[in-house]
Every structure is written in structure tokens, then in C-alpha cells.
Structure 1
């Protein structure tokens, strides 16, 4: 690989890392090409870029990004997964794949500039996804006005029941007096 190719790889990875909210470094030693292709396809489904890159090139690319905290730890063969929208989706996709693969291993990651060890990435995978959290939030926000309407309707209903009871009492009390 010549200098120009290396510079292009560094530039592309730097641009991706600058946009990414999460970066996770994995160990892929011993993985077959077919398994790596399946992994890349699953990661692409959730909007994740997965790239095998030399450590020196990765260090240069991650400089001046929020993921530069990974630079000192880049050793041996590794690949970088970069997620842009939902960090939980990346962590879940990698964790699920690791469960079925004996070769792929999570090492560490960076979430918006904060270092995550392997356990931190696994814990991130246990959180609900962004759409699930939005649905729960909207459900909670919708529950407040719905409950208010139900409480207000119950007050009006009880008031109506009370008025009907008074009406029936007056009609019931007035009818026997009129007959006598």
C-alpha cells in the first residue's frame, strides 16, 4: 500500500469517526471471510460501518475526533465499528453476533468521547433501543392528558349522578303528596 492509498484510508476513516457517536473495537482473529461478510451485512442493517484497519492508520484517523481515547489501546489485529444514530443498536448487533461466533470478541469502545470497556459495551447492549425509548416517552406523555380527561369525566359523571339522584328524590317525594 502506497502513501496515497494510506492517506485516503486515513481521511475516509477520520470523516466517518468524526460523524460517529460510538466506536467499538473488536478482535476478529481467525474469522473466515464468509463470517466477516455476514457480520458486515448485519451491521449495515443498523447503519454501522465496520472496517478492518491497521492500528497506525486508525490512530491517525481517530486523532482530533471524540474517539481519540481509543488510540493508546489499539494493539494487535482489530476492526472498528462506527455507529452514527443509535449507539445501542451497534452494541446489540455486535453482542448478538459475538454470542454466536467463537472468533469475534469485543474489546472496548468510545461513546461520545467516553471510554467503554468490554463490559460497558455489553451493558449498553442491554438498554432499550432509541425507538423503544421514544415510544415509552410518548406513551408517558400521552398518559398525562388521557388521565386528566378520565378524572375530569369521572367528576362530571359523579356530579350528573348526584343531580339525577336529587331529581329522583324530589320527584319521588312530590308525587305522594300530590295524590293525597
Structure 2
């Protein structure tokens, strides 16, 4: 018979996994309580959450298919960064924290996004991406540029026509 506390923890993890756009598995051995609190605050600002998980409960919450993909990574103490809003911002916050900490053994193990496992190096590359707002602004700018250039060209043609008509009218008025 399963322990009710563990059943509740598995349900909480399932709900968190469903709300998340991705997760980053980390090694947390060696972090102080103050450092974990600092990391949680940074992640909260970017829409992320940091949870120390039991590997077996996390595997159960993931389900058999997904837990097989992460089997090798769920060894030893594991904490998970859940990205509940912006995956890139959360990944950037976690990567920055671990890079600034510079403590051996405290590191990102891997990423798990849309059911696919990413290496620690790939997670570092994701952290280098620009924020979502910047990407959207660049896309809108790219879509807007041809229309803006077209309007400018039409405006220039109309302006030239008006200046030509005005020159002809000035010439006739002078004659």
C-alpha cells in the first residue's frame, strides 16, 4: 500500500509537469539553504520553480515512457527547475546562477523539453537565446519592413508627382 504522503507528492509533481513548458535537471549537492533560496527567488522572477525531488517519485510522476528517457540522469541527488512561463528566461536564470556559483558538483545535468532530453551543453545554448519578447519584436519588425518600404516608395512617387505638377504650375504662372 503506497504511503499517502508519497501519493500526494507524485500528484503534485504531475500537476507541476503538466503546467511546465520544460524542466532542467540539476545536481544540488553542496548548495547551502541560502543559495537554494537565492536560486528560487531568481527563478520565481522568471516564472520558474526549483524543487528537490526523489528520483523514484519523479519517475512515477513522469510515467514509464518519459522516465526511461531520463533513467540515466535520475541517479543521485536531483533537483528540478520547472519552467512554468518562459522557458528561455528560466533556463537563463538557472544557467547564470550555476555559472556564477562555480562550485564543482553543483551543475545542470540536462534539460527535458517537450518530451525530449537535451544535454547540459544544449541547455546552455538555449540559455543564450534572446527573450521571447525580443524574438516577437524581431519577427514583427521583419514582417513590417516590406510593407513600410512599400509605403515609403508610394509616398516618394506621389511626392515626386506633386513636385512635378507644382513645377509646371510655377512655370506657367511665370510665363
TM-score by length of 2: 0.89
Q: Can you give the 5+ residue segments of structure 2 that lack an aligned partner in the other structure?
A: none
C-alpha separation between the residues in 1 aligned to 2:109 and 2:145? 41
2:140: which partner in 1? 138
> 1: CA distance between counterparts of 2:67 and 2:171?
77
- What is the distance in 1 between the residues matched to 2:133 and 2:26? 26
Structure 1 runs (4+) deviating above 4 angstroms are: 64-68
Match of 2:170 in 1: 168
**1:145: how far off?**
3.0
Q: What TM-score do the two structures reach when normalised by structure 1?
A: 0.86
- Distance across 2 between alignment mates of 1:83 and 1:10: 18
Return the alpha-carbon distance in structure 2 between the equivalents of residues 66 and 138 of structure 1. 36
2-side partners of 1:157 and 1:131: how far apart?
37
- Structure 2 residue 99 is matched with structure 1 residue 99: yes
Determine if contact 2:25/2:110 at 8 Å carries over to the other structure: yes
102 and 8 in structure 1: CA distance in 2 versus 1, 3 angstrom threshold: same
* 2:159 aligned partner: 157
Q: Please name the residue that 1:79 is paired with.
A: 79
The alpha-carbon deviation at position 66 of structure 1 amounts to: 6.2
Q: Displacement, 1:68? A: 6.2
Distance in 2 (alpha carbons) for counterparts of 1:148 and 1:80: 50
Alignment partner of 2:70: what SS? Answer: helix
| Deviation of the 1:92 alpha carbon | 0.3
The CA RMSD over aligned residues, in Å, is 2.0
Name the residue aligned to 1:113.
115
User: Per-residue deviation at 1:64?
Assistant: 6.1
| Whole-angstrom distance in 2 between the partners of 1:69 and 1:40 | 26
Larger Rg: 1
The structure-2 alpha-carbon separation of the partners of 1:146 and 1:66, relative to structure 1 and needing over 3 Å to count, comes to: farther
Q: Hey, what does 2:54 align to over in structure 1?
A: 54
Q: What is the distance in 2 between the residues matched to 1:97 and 1:134?
A: 26
Residues 139-175 of structure 1 deviation map (CA, whole Å, 9 limit, x = unaligned): 2333333322221110000111222233334444xx3
